Structure 1
Amino acid sequence: MKNDAAYATIRLSSLLRPLPNNEVCLIVSGYTDALLEGVIEAMPEQDQTFDLVYLNEQGQETTAQLNEEFVVVTDEMTRWLAAQQLASRYLIMTNTRTLHTTEERLKNQLDDLRAMAQIRRDALKKDRAAQAAKGGQKAKGPSKATKKSSRSGSVSSKNTRAKPQERQDPTDAALAKPADLVNKPAADAQTSISNKAVAAPQINAEDHNTDLFLNT
């Protein structure tokens, strides 16, 4: 049965290869879902594959071998593709902290300035929260173990002070035998006690699997 309806098709490789390598990752990972939802209508070409080099979500270059497919060109597919391109770009720029745009991209409406501003705002809030958490840990001060050790050291120091020697009555000294005075050991003036330091504990501050893939 012949279908008289005319429609345009394009190979998947011809659709993806011309795109910037930082605008592809979500197209590849979301392709199967788009097929299931009817956003994309496509059929594999028998025994045909192609290699695609692109940046993954973390901005790292990767190579995937994909099935070649014939894709029906529709307005819905075109809108989906454009949306995934932009989302891929913003995701990688966010993960790699390289968010920026150009005058040319803004004039040609390739970037959504307000969407990018929101992404930047969210990133700044996340950084501020991380800094506040780090500062809170430092403000806690020394641990209880350290304070207890410090107090123990103070008490030990007080206890080691030598008591003053009692003054001898002159009358007793006069009555003492010379031999007794010579052989009588002198009293220790001070007792030394070494306090062991207690170290304070350290506080540390801070798939989509798609039927497109044959192997990666």
Structure 2
Amino acid sequence: MDPRVGIFAGDDPLDIARRWLEEAGRHEPSDPNAIALATVDSEGLPDVRIVLLKSIESDAFVFYTNYESAKARQIDSNGRAAFAVHWKSLRRQIRVRGLVEREDGPIADAYFRSRPRESRVGAWASPQSRAIASRAALEAEVARLDAELGEDPPRPAFWGGYRLRPLEIEFWADGAHRLHDRYKWSRPTLNHPFEVLRLGP
């Protein structure tokens, strides 16, 4: 197999992902941590939306959402998800597939507290993915909770994180004449080491 050098070098795919994300943060003009998160509903129909990747841990990618949202219900029903992130400025992308578990403890509490107060109130007020009567009704609920929750709104029980632990991570970089560079790291279970293959463009 070709030696992995330059931007693909490294023995841990999550370290490589973290390095690419840090580089994107210096070049991408808006939301370099925006990922397209894919889930599947109870009928097997795929669903995708943009969420913000908030951290890359030693063995997981972490994002946050309302646990009563469509994405959360779909994740909780089958425990699997995938995402892609594309950085136009770097002409690179990462694709990830894996198993998902909740993060609803002290780490989620700390992240919620780090958000602007207005965003915390909004998280309390929004029945995410469910029908609402009007924008005015939503704003009225925000105003009610703004007065009720005090200066330091706690994290609601229905809001928290998810940790996506990867079974596959693919790194892609644009190449001349559509001869792109692609490397896929994969493992059959979370307890196995990753193997890496170079893929055709």
Q: Same fold (TM over 0.5)?
A: no
TM (norm. structure 1) is: 0.22
Larger Cα-atom Rg: 1
Higher relative contact order (CA 8 A, sep 6+): 1
TM (norm. structure 2) is: 0.23
Higher strand share: 2
